[in-house]
Amino acid sequence: MTAPFDFAPLLAPGTPAPAAKWNGHPKYNFIGGHVAPEHIPVQELIDAVTTALKREGTTLSMYGLNSGPLGYKPLRDFLVGKLKSHAGMNVTADNILITSGSLQGLDLVNNLLVGRGDTVLVEQETYGGTLTRLARFDAKIVGVALDEDGLRMDALKRTLDDLDKKGIKPKFIYTIPTVQNPTGSVMPEKRRAEFLKIARDAGVMIFEDECYSDLVWSLERPPSLYAMADGEGVIFIGSFSKSIAVALRVGYVVAKWDVMARILGLKQDAGSGALEQMMLAEYCSKHFASHVPKVAKELHGKLQTLRESLAEQFGTSAEFGDPPGGIFLWVKLPDNVDTVKLAQAANAAGISINPGPEWSTDKQFARSRLRLCFANPDHDTIRKGVAALAEVCRREFGVPLRSANIDKR
């Protein structure tokens, strides 16, 4: 037997902790931002990729196909139209970079702007993937309070003023204004205008993440911040993950050309996967407009099932809103519940949840909160999963006392 080679001393500083081996999906999966298997348009995707390959499969011979480093041109052309009609954005295909998921977009923008020790503003409750990424840069992450309309402008102004007094200018304000993760809020247009003015006056860039903006129940949303600013001082990322399929790993960055040229310099992977881009361009030009409303309607139904199940199983022990879109619900449990511990106990029972502290800069505020993703499980699994979670919570923390109208004392 060859003796093991000890590579641990070679690790670069700041390398993340080793990953655990994957042991399969939990029975009740309320994490990870997965979408629903029944929403994947399998046959249409097969048709789309076949058509695209027959027509231009030989272009796979070149990095970047016939489209150059920004990504497959027909997909960018589709996005030009979609972003205009959906989010009011006036952009050309040269303002759009196709990425391997919007996570790559997040990485590229962070790499472009965040140096070690820089200050970055985020919404107090925000996407956990952003928090872990910024932490790797040793960034000083400052959370700004939210309300039911998203980022609070009084809190933003106060934070910027406080930082200014200390001579600190943040690199950007990372925001998810349209279906906020995890709270689900949509920032109204008036507040967006105020937001842009405050950021502009402070000379701070806005980093706008629109991962979920297609999934608004009413199918109407305010213009993006990027649209309202005509792209000045705003970098935008979006994704096909939640509207079509997460595992395709296709997202995009939208930026003015001067910013884009710099981002492009950092994207040194010789292009994102071509088949996915070709398939999506073909599929979306025909079906996106009819697919998304169907998905939104069914997700809205799952949200109602989740809300009903929580009300039934947790009674007044669970507080939550009625978000206007998205795939998750942000839930408050009684103060004595530590959701990090709850998540561990739930995991052992085959239930995955996102504990609040991983989704917030204020660990104490988020201690008794959690995020539940409802897109992937079917209605019955949602009901059973919530009942199982209530059972674990009662065992570990003594709440909820009542469940399904049965007193458990």
Ligand X SMILES: Cc1ncc(COP(=O)(O)O)c(C=O)c1O
Q: Comparing C-alpha atoms, which of 120, 108, 102, 107 is closest to residue 260? A: 108
Beta-carbon-side half-sphere exposure of residue 140 (alpha carbons within 13 Å)? 8
Considering the rule CB under 6 A, would residue 241 count as an interface residue with ligand X?
A: yes
Give the DSSP letter of residue 26: -
- DSSP per residue over 250-278, as a string? -EEEE--HHHHHHHHHH--SS-S-HHHHH
User: Which 154-183 positions form the footprint of ligand X (CB under 6 A)?
Assistant: 176, 181
- DSSP per residue over 344-392, as a string? HHHHHTTEE-EEGGGGBS-HHHHTTEEEEE-SSS-HHHHHHHHHHHHHH
Binding mask 209-238 for ligand X (x = CB under 6 A): x-x---------------------------
Q: Comparing C-alpha atoms, which of 213, 251, 249, 239 is closest to residue 327? A: 213
CA distances from 137 to 11, 114, 147 (A): 16, 7, 28
Residue 372 has phi, psi (to 5 degrees) of: -115, 120
Closer residue to ligand X in complex, CB, 216/392: 216
User: Which 192-211 positions form the footprint of ligand X (CB under 6 A)?
Assistant: 209, 211
**Minimum gap (Å) between residue 252 Cβ and ligand X:** 9
Considering the rule CB under 6 A, would residue 74 count as an interface residue with ligand X?
A: no
Position of minimal CB gap to ligand X: 101
CA–CA dist 360, 125 (Å, integer): 4
Using CB under 6 A, pick the residue from 239, 305, 309, 352 that binds ligand X: 239
Q: Which stretch binds ligand X (CB under 6 A): 97-105, 274-282, 342-350, 380-388?
A: 97-105
Q: Which stretch binds ligand X (CB under 6 A): 101-109, 196-204, 336-344, 354-362?
A: 101-109
**Minimum gap (Å) between residue 209 Cβ and ligand X:** 5
Using CB under 6 A, pick the residue from 76, 80, 89, 101 that binds ligand X: 101
Considering the rule CB under 6 A, would residue 325 count as an interface residue with ligand X?
A: no
Q: Which residues of this chain interact with ligand X, rule CB under 6 A?
A: 33, 101-103, 127, 129, 176, 181, 209, 211, 239, 241, 246, 251
